[in-house]
Amino acid sequence: MRELNRLGITSVIDAGGGGQNYPENYTVIQRLHQDRQMIVRVAYNLFAQKAGEELDSFRRWTEMTTPRAGDAQLRMNGGGENLTWSAGDFENFLESRPEFAPTMERELEPIVELLVEKRWPFRLHATYDESIHRFLTVFERVNGCRPFATRFIIGHAETISEPNIERIKALGGGIAIQHRMAFQGEHFVEHYGTKAAEATPPVSKMLALGVPVGAGTDATRVASYNPWVC
Ligand SMILES: [Zn+2]
């Protein structure tokens, strides 16, 4: 936290991560909070950890806690950025774009339904337009039965297309972008060409279409956590 303060950071969103189990792995940060040692405000999302148990985890968590639980120093922020492992999109442009199994929608839909029912904001990690397209089809189906009463975020969205930005907007969602291309641009160009790289991510289109856009570092996944580099 001191290192983040050094860079001028006073608040962060923790979008979760592999191996970060709730609630057991949050005892350290909760202890710091109890002892009034928080010098960075942290809003944390609950990230599904075990494949095959994602829906059960969210069911359990929605009984245990609620969005905004805590206070300004340490707050629960909702679900994500992993909702189900079957919807796990790669962020490494050395790898080819993943094709999800046909069962992805069946696994994602009840989780989105639950989060919408419980009014949990959520974020979903998604690099490619093809993945975002399938996620939005699930979101629209859920929204058709039970209109979204909370915000959601698509995180990353490097190759998102204009129609899918419009679909996010229609559902009341937002997009969180990072500067990963500054570190992986050459690999991206090798896979998809310079033309595609010119609009990756298509920030000006997102802004022109009026979708809320957040920019960050995604630290320390791909880049440095230093926001000034970003
Ligand atoms: Zn991510």
Binning pLDDT at 50, 70 and 90, where does residue 220 land?
confident
pLDDT of residue 224: 87
Per-residue pLDDT reduced to its tens digit, 34-85 = 999 999 999 999 999 999 999 999 999 999 999 999 999 999 999 999 999 9
pLDDT confidence of 222, banded at 50, 70, 90?
confident
Cα 118 off chain centre by: 18
Residue 192's CATH number: 3.20.20.140
CA of 126 to the centre of ligand 1 (A): 7
Q: What is the mean pLDDT of the chain?
A: 95
Report the amino acid identity of residue 12: V
pTM score above 0.85: yes
- What range does the domain containing 101 cover? 2-216
pLDDT at position 200 is 94
Ligand 1 (ion): which residues have CB within 5 A?
81, 125, 155
From ligand 1's centre to the CA of 35, what distance in Å?
A: 31
Q: For residues 230 and 178, what is the distance between their CA atoms, to the nearest angstrom?
A: 7
pLDDT in tens, 86-133: 999 988 898 999 999 999 999 999 999 999 999 999 999 999 999 999
Please name which of 78, 66, 65, 58 lies closest in space to residue 13, comparing C-alpha atoms. 78
Measure 155 CA to ligand 1 centroid, in angstroms: 6
Structure tokens at 169: 């907007």
Task: Tell me how far the alpha carbon of residue 209 lies from the centroid of ligand 1, in angstroms.
Answer: 23
Instruction: With respect to residue 208, please indicate whether it lies within any of the assigned structural domains.
Output: yes
Ranges of H-type helices in the chain: 2-6, 27-34, 54-64, 104-117, 129-145, 162-170, 181-192, 194-197, 203-208
- Residue 17: pLDDT band with limits 50, 70, 90: confident
User: What is the structure's pLDDT at 168?
Assistant: 98
Least Cα distance to 124 among 170, 202, 137 occurs for: 137
SS3 206: helix
The verdict on residue 141 lying in a domain is yes
Count of domains in the chain? 1
Expressed in angstroms and rounded, the spacing between residue 125 Cα and the centre of ligand 1 is 4
Q: Distance, CA 177 to ligand 1 centroid (Å)?
A: 10
Q: Say if 106 falls within a structural domain.
A: yes
C-alpha to C-alpha distances, 101 to 33, 88, 155, nearest whole angstrom = 41, 11, 21
Instruction: Flag whether pLDDT at 3 surpasses 90.
Output: yes
Say if 136 falls within a structural domain.
yes
Which pLDDT value is given to residue 175?
98
User: Is 66 a member of any domain?
Assistant: yes
In a domain, 225, yes or no: no
| Distance from the alpha carbon of residue 19 to the mean position of ligand 1, in angstroms | 14
Please give the distance, rounded to the nearest whole angstrom, from the Cα atom of residue 17 to the centre of ligand 1: 8
Distance 16 CA to ligand 1 centre (A): 9
Mean pLDDT along residues 143-162: 96
Q: Is residue 221 part of a domain?
A: no
Q: Looking at residue 54, what is its pLDDT?
A: 97
In a domain? residue 171 = yes
